[in-house]
Structure 1
Amino acid sequence: MKNGRWSKAALAAGLGILTVGTALAAPDEKKDDKPPAFFTKPQQVMSEGSVTIHGQAIPYRAESGTLIVHPAAWDDANPDAKAPDAAASIFYVAYFKKGAKAENRPITFVYNGGPGSATLWLHMGAFGPKRVVTTDDSHTPAAPYQLVNNDDSLLDSTDLVFIDAPGTGFGRITGKDREKAFYGTDPDAEAFTNFIAQFLARHGRYNSPKYLFGESYGTTRSAIIANMLAEKKGIDLNGVILLSQILDYANSIDRPQTNPSMDQPYVLALPSYAATAWYHHKLPDESANLTSFLREVEHFALTDYTEALQEGTSISDEKLDAIAEKLHLYTGLPVDYLKRANLRVNGGEFEKTLLGGDGIDTGRLDSRFAGPSMDPLSQRPDYDPQSAAMEAAYVSAFNDYARNTLHFGGDPAFGDGYEEYKIFLHNLDRWTFLHKQPDQKGQARGEPNVLPDLAAAMKANPALQIMLNQGYFDLGTPYFEGIYEMRHLPIPRELAKNIEIKQYQSGHMVYAHAPALHQMHDNVVQFIARTHPKSS
């Protein structure tokens, strides 16, 4: 997130709540010009390969290409009718296990967040057949980078479709009012929903077990898509897999001071502050067991800390002192600082303060990382050390892989427009965050709260299973926020059994820590097996 609200890192990794990057206008800058044909017709390039996963060699077919989607008002039966002429060519890479029967073989649609991020992060860092090697919690040296067989690819349990957001990757948006047609919470979800339905039809996969895997803003998107697929397309999912969740933006710790009557973000971020202080050895009394320590912090957050914050200015001096002392034990922040902050420290302030004010900031997306402040006197970090440490490796590795292995992006037949792989959008000032919840009357409103969307999908399909994966060291989407949201889905209590939560000693990009990636792979494979025992 950048420009006061969102840090640059969030975008650079394509994984924060919101992201930054290069403006992605369509290649025809003159709005009256017709776009080149290769932007308005589906493209497809086939290749083959093999990946070894936990000792098992899995041959696969890879398909790289684009599909064309239109805004919600588009009438497929009558394309000449008065409707928006905007279109998006959405780039994807799909992997299909050779020899698997489509009706038994699960298919998982995978995407990062942003909004407006390409999906190279999950593709090259988590679940594709190749993985780029990066250092664990420090800056990865410059090129050349190493691309290796991914022992934790999910191709052992599901076919995979990695989808880039409209306007990113090798895809483009075209036509009049194209930004209005795709740059918004609901238009974006509509585009992904249409893409998924079209992909299933074109590849004969309507009868396959179907899953969504979204990260960060991708979890916001998944909640809407799950409901849209059922409501508008008649498509039920077997499971929705969430990574680094944010479903209700009122819970964000980035700038809660702009909503002074809302104390919940401070409560929900506290366990992640404690985990970060534990990792950097800043606690006065360090616990040997992180998990048990965090359960203690969670209890304090929901009880004494919540009560103190609710009292506001009526809190007694004695209670203020006592809570500040306890917060010091759990966060390592100085007592006088905590009192001056009125017991409320936002994410950026914590990142700037924890390491002692020596001009070193922690990471936001992964607080295990640390780096020098661009401006030691600023209130919030100007960049994210984790994103800066890894972005170049992902970008270089994917561009090389796409052109030399997938054979997409370098063919002159596609035209010059495909030469640049767009990593993310610079579109936050043009992005509409309004969201219309299911059965909501009147106009869309908000910052997004998509808990009702996911709840509607679960109530309409009581067999739908939800899996939430979280990193303890994530200050962008704190893990306790995700737990809180899952506990507050407006669903019957008996449906809560359909939700499982897994946590890892990693950050927002859980897969950036190799042991956590191994654990997440195994957990996701088991989740898919449980929700579809016949997977092949």
Structure 2
Amino acid sequence: MKTGLSLIALALAAAAPSILHAQNAPAADKAKAEKPADYEPQIRTTKLSGTFGGQRINYAATIGETILKSKDGTPEAAIVTTSYVKEPRDPARPVTFLFNGGPGSGTVWLMMGAFGPKRVAIPGDARDDGAPPYPIVDNPDALLDVTDVVFIDPPGTGFSHLIGKANPEDYYGVTQDAKAVAQVIRLWLNNNGRWNSPKYLGGESYGTTRSAAVANQLMNETYNDVALNGIILISTVLDFAAGADTPGNELSPITNLPSMAVTALYHGKATGASPEAFAEEARQWAIGPYATALLKGQKLQGEERAAIRRDLARFTGLSETYLESADLRVTPSRFYKELLRDRGLTVGRLDSRYTGKDYDSAGEEPDNDPSFYGIDAGYTAAINSWSRDTLGFKTDREYQSIGSIGGQWDWRLGGRDTNAYLNVAPYIGQALRENSGLKVLVAQGYYDFATPFFAAEYALSRTGIPQDRIRYTYYDAGHMMYIRDEDRHKLSADIRAFIRAR
């Protein structure tokens, strides 16, 4: 499965945080695989202060391991959470649980790029992050003025890991992972006396898939007793059929078309009044004339076919000759290579504002994603510096910013037929129908091909999903819209308003 990842980097700058006090629990540097019963979780708390949303806030930053156990009490997984809690503590204050995607991605991207008290400062104008040192700076866009925040690294991501002879099949899957994260949330509520706090759940990329699945576990399946006030979906992927670039699937060309249009406009290959206006024009054409044409298959002939080909060229910036050779169905990977072939450049998948230069210009697909390799080093440096040097987490483990567990992932929902495509949007629908106080915020970047904005809209417009409590916001960047300063400010303001409006 090709799902969106989430990335961004951080490295320690000259200005260290104002550390008022540090209180450390016993450390466990390595998983004691031979004796899991002896595994002692590491928990470290550092008292800090900062200015967020214009307010000076004292807060406790706690990085620690939550131990998940088997039915016989044997430790199976150490799940690392990093929580930022305003002091003095208020049990009625909102708390927001956040994670990234992959599956296999740590929370480095959201924590060090968007909502943590510090962020890595890398270029936001589609330039690469260069070489270290990378500045780690104060982040006034962090959400601590309106909510406490808990970043969760699910099993196999970040510093989180399985213990002893724990079976990966019990943790690496849509439902298994959701159960583990839901358990971590309940334990955090227990340990911190926060059961009556307003609760928000949010994720980025596959983290939105996880958000739907975790909400289902908390409110409908395993526990049934944790009501949520809001779900925050950043770069959303819920219905995986929309992104399945397989022969015969006509949905993918339709949901990708508006992303191609705004990308062509950005790079001067199309003409439109604005990204917003051109995106809307592309939406209407994609779901109308284009969808009708694709469903006709080989019966689409003559002038009708020629008219569709002309419009498709206008929206995508590709030649009619190329579009005819592709049978009017251009996969995203081909689009990345073809759009700027005449300039010897490719465009990015995670953020199509980025351009890269391949070994040569003759290939069918890009060598790599320039919007990924352009930012990953900074984020990895940042999370290691912040977690180890500032928060004092002691471990010999490597931080898994983008791990390999996706290859082991069980994509079935509750043991359903593996031939059925994955769609967790109905979980959102059930949650909204059964909780009148629940709202959903959907944040999408225009230049994101990993989780296209029109695919997110399509997934959440299906039958059984109440529309009156879903809000959409859009940004002039890609998958990690927060790397662009203007969009990080906007995203933060949009989430603040969402939480305050409960």
Distance 1:358 1:316, change over 3 A: same
Which is worse superposed, 297-306 or 378-387?
378-387
> 1:405 offset after TM fit, Å?
1.3
Is contact 1:433–1:446 with CA below 8 Å preserved after alignment?
no
* Per-residue deviation, 1:199: 0.7
Pick closer, same or farther for the CA change 1:408–1:375 going to 2, 3 Å: farther
Letter in 1 for 2:231: V
Q: 1: CA distance between counterparts of 2:47 and 2:55?
A: 17
- The reply to whether residue 470 of structure 1 matches residue 459 of structure 2 is no
How do 1:311-350 residues align onto structure 2 when only pairs under 5 Å count? Answer: 311-350=296-335
Cα drift, residue 100 of structure 1: 4.3
Q: Is the 8 A contact 1:69 1:89 kept in 2?
A: yes
- Tell me how far 1:401 sits from its aligned partner: 1.2
Structure 1 position 66 matched with structure 2 position 65 = yes
Whole-angstrom CA distance in 2 between matches of 1:374 and 1:364: 18
> Per-residue deviation at 1:461?
1.2
Q: Which residue is equivalent to 1:124?
A: 112
CA distance in 2, matches of 1:297, 1:68: 49
Q: Secondary structure at the match of 2:51?
A: strand
SS across alignment from 1:394: helix
**Secondary structure at 1:308's aligned position in 2?**
helix
Q: Which of 71, 92, 109 pairs up with 2:81?
A: 92
The alpha-carbon distance between structure 1 residues 237 and 515, as it changes in their structure 2 partners (threshold 3 A), is: same
- Aligned partner (choices 7, 25, 28) of residue 13 of structure 1: 7
Aligned residue for 2:158, secondary structure, equals: coil
1:27 is displaced (CA, Å) by 6.9
Q: d(CA) in 2 for partners of 1:516 and 1:402?
A: 26
Amino acid at match of 1:320: R
* CA shift for structure 1 position 448: 1.9
Aligned mate of 2:241, from 245, 250, 255: 250
1:167 is aligned to 2:156: yes
Provide the secondary structure at the position in 2 that maps to 1:58.
strand
CA distance in 2, matches of 1:317, 1:205: 65
Give the TM-score normalised by structure 2. Answer: 0.91
Of 367, 377, 392, the match for 2:377 = 392
Residue 444 to residue 189, structure 1, CA distance change in 2 (3 Å): farther
**Deviation by residue 1:211-259 (Cα, 9 ceiling, x = unmatched):** 011000000011111111012321100000000101111110xx5234x
Partner of 1:512: 483
One-letter amino acid of the counterpart of residue 132, structure 1: V
Matched-pair contact (CA < 8 Å) for 1:27–1:35: no
SS of equivalent to 1:497: coil
For residues 178 and 14 of structure 1, the distance between their equivalents in structure 2, rounded to whole angstroms, comes to 31
**Change over 3 Å in CA distance of 1:516–1:14 after alignment to 2:** closer
For residues 6 and 441 of structure 2, the distance between their equivalents in structure 1, rounded to whole angstroms, comes to: 26
Residue 528 of structure 1 corresponds to 499
Which 5+ residue runs of structure 2 have no aligned equivalent? Answer: 10-28
SS in 2 for 1:244: strand
Q: Residue 270 of structure 1 is aligned with which of 229, 232, 257?
A: 257
Report the 3-state secondary structure (helix = DSSP H, G, I; strand = E; otherwise coil) of the residue aligned with 1:501: strand
Q: Is 2:275 the counterpart of 1:287?
A: no
Deviations 1:65-85 (A, max 9, x none): 110124xxx43xxx26xxxx6
Provide the rounded CA distance (Å) in 2 between the counterparts of 1:299 and 1:288.
16
Q: After superposition, what is the alpha-carbon deviation per residue over 1:380-406, rounded to whole angstroms, capped at 9, x for unaligned?
A: 323211111111111111111112211
Contact 1:46 1:64 in 2 (8 A): yes
Alignment of 1:395-414 (within 5 A): 395-409=380-394
Classify the secondary structure of the residue corresponding to 2:487. helix
In structure 1, list runs of 5 or more residues that go unmatched: 16-25, 410-416, 532-536
Partners in 2 of 1:172 and 1:524 — Cα distance?
31
Q: Hey, what's the Cα distance between the residues in 2 that align with 1:166 and 1:196?
A: 13
* Aligned position for 1:18: none
Tell me the amino acid that sits aligned with residue 116 of structure 2: G
Structure 2 distance, partners of 1:141, 1:347, is: 27
Secondary structure of 2:375's aligned partner: helix
**Mean CA deviation greater in 54-63 or 376-385:** 376-385
Which of these residues, 393, 413, 434, is aligned with residue 412 of structure 2?
434
Q: Residue type matched to 2:286 in 1?
A: A
CA contact (8 A) 2:122 2:378 kept: yes
Deviation, 1:445, is 6.0
Amino acid at match of 1:69: L
Taking the aligned partners of 1:203 and 1:489, their CA distance within structure 2 comes to 38
* Aligned residue number for residue 123 of structure 2: 135
**Displacement of 1:513 after TM fit?**
1.0
Q: How far apart, in 2, do the equivalents of 1:62 and 1:391 lie?
A: 24
Q: How big is each residue's C-alpha offset from its partner over 1:22-56, in whole Å with a ceiling of 9 and x where there is no partner?
A: xxxx9779x8x33484xx33321010111212432
Look up the match of 1:57: 56
Per the alignment, in what secondary structure is the counterpart of residue 215 of structure 1? strand
Of 469, 486, 489, the residue aligned with 2:460 is 486
Aligned to 1:101: 90
One-letter amino acid of the structure 1 residue matched with residue 400 of structure 2: K
Is contact 1:436–1:443 with CA below 8 Å preserved after alignment?
A: no
Partners of 1:153 and 1:208 in 2: how far apart? 19
Q: 1:198 to 1:469 in 2, by over 3 A?
A: same
Please give the root-mean-square deviation of Cα atoms over the aligned residues, in Å: 2.2
